[in-house]
């Protein structure tokens, strides 16, 4: 394999040539890809064609799959794949616009996933970009005073408020009015993570809060905590920290959830948008 990686943004994002993700890669090739992911925070691959088996096989070379608690979006026969599709997919509910708020995947679990591998199967001719934010650059660019202020602070993450809100957004679009079971709700109990995390593989510090799932700052007055979270979010999502990925069918984006967050953007829903995501388990943030 002759992997070549080109940086396509000022601070992060590697565009990879010379890899067919459908192949059964050996350890050396996987290490090359993993090293590139650590160097760039996220990787973009074009012109891919994978079966669901191949997608899962590639993903599992980086670690076991995180299976989403909301089973309604899992692809029939492939619980490792969450289908984000406005037309539904094999056995799944349609999603109008999943993840249309800044978030890193599944930070509401005690061990949030290391990475996510999103495959665009059908995409609209325009719109429906995914925005990515470099949270390591965002941390580096904080003032020293703010770095000092947030040192050692922790924040509470939760999925339930977001789940309820997304049901409202989708109302009138498609049937997603299902309830979560008590077991699902229990799996989604609140968790606490540091606001600044240190990358376990390359030692970089990154902001680890997000609009989607971070609900308050631990031990801080509610309003003061919200103001701090809003300030950090506004700082992080400045243009200089953002890469917008405009999808072509066959694109695969592999991001490190520990140093990036992302957000779906709107598009004309007369067009189909069908994406498959695998999610690689991670560690407890420190
Ligand atoms: C995701 C996600 C956004 C999009 O796959 O985790 O948030 O643009 N996707 O589909
Ligand atoms: Mn997401």
- Within a domain: residue 13? yes
Domain CATH code at residue 210? 3.60.130.10
Query: What integer is the mean pLDDT of 100-112?
Result: 96
Find the 154 Cα to ligand 1 centroid distance in Å. 26
* Residue nearest ligand 1's atom 7 by CA: 99
- Within a domain: residue 285? no
- Within a domain: residue 222? yes
Q: What is the pLDDT of residue 183?
A: 84
Give the domain range for residue 96.
Answer: 4-280
Query: What integer is the mean pLDDT of 191-220?
Result: 97
Q: What is the pLDDT of residue 286?
A: 97
Query: What integer is the mean pLDDT of 63-73?
Result: 92
Query: What integer is the mean pLDDT of 91-99?
Result: 83
Residues with CB under 5 A from ligand 2 (ion): 99, 105
- Within a domain: residue 41? yes
* Residue nearest ligand 1's atom 2 by CA: 99
Mean pLDDT of the chain: 93
Find the 190 Cα to ligand 2 centroid distance in Å. 18
Q: Is 130 in the pocket of ligand 1 (CB under 6 A)?
A: yes
Q: What is the pLDDT of residue 163?
A: 78
Highest mean pLDDT among 25-34, 94-103, 168-177: 25-34
**What is the tens place of the pLDDT at every residue in 266-281?**
999 999 999 999 999 9
Q: Is 84 in the pocket of ligand 1 (CB under 6 A)?
A: yes
> Using H for helix, E for strand and C for coil, what is the string for the chain?
CCCEEEECCCCCCEEEECCCCCCCCCHHHHHHHHHHHHHHCEEEECCCCCCHHHHHHHHHCCCCECCCCCHHHEECCEEEEEEEECCCECCECCCCCCCCCCECCCCCCCCCCCEEEEEEEECCCCCCCEEEEEHHHHHHCCCHHHHHHHCCCEEEECCHHHHHHHHHHHCCCCCCCCCCCHHHHHHCCCEEEECEEECCCCCCEEECCCCCCEEEECCCCHHHHHHHHHHHHHHHCCHHHEEEECCCCCCEEEEECCCEEEEECCCCCCCCCEEEEEEECCCCCC
**What is the tens place of the pLDDT at every residue in 186-204?**
878 899 999 999 999 999 9
Query: What integer is the mean pLDDT of 228-234?
Result: 98
State phi, psi for 105 to the nearest 5 degrees.
-65, 130
Q: Which ligand has the nearest atom to the CA of 105? A: 2
CA distance 214 to 209: 6
Q: What is the pLDDT of residue 188?
A: 81
Q: Does residue 162 or residue 3 have the better pLDDT?
A: 3
- Within a domain: residue 209? yes
Atom nearest to 105 CA in ligand 1: 6
Q: What is the pLDDT of residue 173?
A: 54
Q: What is the pLDDT of residue 105?
A: 97
Find the 277 Cα to ligand 1 centroid distance in Å. 8
As beta bridge partners, residue 7 has 14
Query: What integer is the mean pLDDT of 35-50?
Result: 98
Percent of the chain with pLDDT over 90: 83
Contact 215, 185 (CB under 8 A): no
**What is the tens place of the pLDDT at every residue in 151-200?**
999 999 999 888 777 665 555 555 556 778 888 888 788 999 999 999 99
Find the 98 Cα to ligand 1 centroid distance in Å. 6
- Within a domain: residue 205? yes
Confidence of residue 101 (pLDDT cuts 50, 70, 90): very high
Q: Is 277 in the pocket of ligand 1 (CB under 6 A)?
A: yes
Long-range contacts of 89-97 (CB under 8 A, 24+ apart): 89/274, 89/276, 93/174, 93/175, 93/176, 93/178, 94/173, 94/174, 94/175, 94/176, 95/170, 95/174, 95/176, 96/169, 96/170, 96/173, 96/174, 96/269, 97/169, 97/170, 97/264, 97/266, 97/267
Q: What is the pLDDT of residue 201?
A: 93
Q: How many domains does one find in the chain?
A: 1
Q: Is 116 in the pocket of ligand 1 (CB under 6 A)?
A: yes
- Within a domain: residue 286? no
Q: Is 275 in the pocket of ligand 1 (CB under 6 A)?
A: yes
Between β-strands 78-85 and 74-75, what pairing exists: parallel, antiparallel or unpaired? antiparallel
Beta carbons within 10 angstroms of residue 137's beta carbon: 22
- Within a domain: residue 207? yes
Q: What is the pLDDT of residue 187?
A: 79
Q: Does residue 187 or residue 38 have the better pLDDT?
A: 38
């Amino acid at each position: 394999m002759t992997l070549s990686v080109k940086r396509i943004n000022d601070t992060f994002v590697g565009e990879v040539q010379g890899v067919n993700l459908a192949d059964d890669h050996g350890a050396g090739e996987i290490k090359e890809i993993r090293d590139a992911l650590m160097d760039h925070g996220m990787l973009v691959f074009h012109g891919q064609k994978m079966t669901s088996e191949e997608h899962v096989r590639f993903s599992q070379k980086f670690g076991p799959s995180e299976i989403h608690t909301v089973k309604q979006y899992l692809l029939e026969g492939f619980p490792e794949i969450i289908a984000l599709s406005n037309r539904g997919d094999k056995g799944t509910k349609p999603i109008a616009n999943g993840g249309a708020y800044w978030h890193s995947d599944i930070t509401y679990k005690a061990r949030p996933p290391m990475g996510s591998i999103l495959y665009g199967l059908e995409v609209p001719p325009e719109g429906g970009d995914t925005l990515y934010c470099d949270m390591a650059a965002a941390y580096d660019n904080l003032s020293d005073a703010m770095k000092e202020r947030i040192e050692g602070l922790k924040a509470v993450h939760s999925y339930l408020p977001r789940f309820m809100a997304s049901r409202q957004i989708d109302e009138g679009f498609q049937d997603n009015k299902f309830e979560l079971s008590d077991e699902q709700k229990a799996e989604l109990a609140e968790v606490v993570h540091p606001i600044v995390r240190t990358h376990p593989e390359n030692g970089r510090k990154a902001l680890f809060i997000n609009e989607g799932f971070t609900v308050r700052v631990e031990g801080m007055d509610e309003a003061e905590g919200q103001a701090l979270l809003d300030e950090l979010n506004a700082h992080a999502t400045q243009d200089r920290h953002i890469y917008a990925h405009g999808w072509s069918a066959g694109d695969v984006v592999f991001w490190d959830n520990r140093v990036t967050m992302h957000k779906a953007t709107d598009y004309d829903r007369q067009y189909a948008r069908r994406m498959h995501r695998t999610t690689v388990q991670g560690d407890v943030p420190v």
